[in-house]
A and B are shown apart, each in its own frame.
Chain A
Amino acid sequence: MAEHHVHCVVNGAKQRGIVESRTTLADFLREGLGLTGTHLACEHGVCGACTVLVDGKAVRACLMLAVQADGHEVTTVEGIASPDGTLSPVQQAFVDCHGLQCGFCTPGFVVSVTSFLEANPDPTEAEIREGISGNLCRCTGYQGIVEAVKLAAARMRDGAGVGQ
């Protein structure tokens, strides 16, 4: 099995590793770097639990190879809160609106919503529901999540700032 060196920046820190050609970005993050916040729930690109930001864009880490991240910047759920632990506006809104129950899909939602609100800071409810329809949740019926996105958007428009 061919092996490759990967150099990338993850959550602001330089990282390197040796991976097989077939190693996914998700497996590299979880097993190679110990960043287990990125979750795998389908491994075929439907559920969105493994969503991370690559150069600021939301991608599914189960559908991207680790070698493709070479030379790129990756943000995982571990990189969303402030270094001092203060939750981002999106994360805080999930707390306030009961946007999570078992929490397994949550990292993917936090990352997707962070990206979504950067692109659309003032979404309607229909736009929110469409915008998060690439992420599956089995616990919340999405109601708390939709409320959280609305609240985060309102707070960020009021100047709380996005994420990091």
Chain B
Amino acid sequence: MLSVQGLRVAYGHAEALRGVDLEAKGGEITAIIGSNGAGKTSALMAISGLVPVTAGEIRLEGRSILGMKPYEIAQLGIAHVLEGRQLFADQTVEDNLLLGAYTRLPHDRARVAEIMEREMNRFPILQRRRHQFAGNLSGGEQQMLAIARGLMSDPKLILMDEPSMGLAPLVVQEIARILRGLRQEGSTIILVEQMASVALQLADRVYVFENGRIKLSGTGIQLASDPEVKRAYLGG
């Protein structure tokens, strides 16, 4: 689905990514774990076009998307659920969802209404909060809305940045359940996650980032039993 080769990203003189290769297969959850500043978020932002790439190649279904504008990449079917939710706090839940379907509007209204019903069923709390301002939702509800907004375009590939950030354990479990459900529906997800235990449990394939490079990669099961991963990321 998506392949990244030799990806480098720099902010001025600071290199955030120093040559990263990764592959996200269709219908799988690909997780990226690693400590703060390892370059996880930069990798997602490079894929969605939010930060310029200094070297390397990014291909979606074999076609290079390098140098495209973020809105063009969104139109190709890549949705990005940004770190820290980044909702339109001064607009309603429903309007946030509508904007999530912006690439399908206004020509595909009927389909968008269907998708909105689908997401309201997936996240019943959003149905109840439909006409409230997104800024008035609780942290967990905001994360649900951020994910739902990402799904509104019916994307081929979903980039999800730290969906568990700042949430209570029970809510994290709820989000994990939803991600598992999405995988069962056949969605393709690249998940960046600070909580390695959650990521290893969910992911088909895991990449461990360190200082802008890939330190390890393997299946979730392989890495969960890797002594180094256990020591560094699972607290055991």
Task: State whether these chains interact.
Answer: no
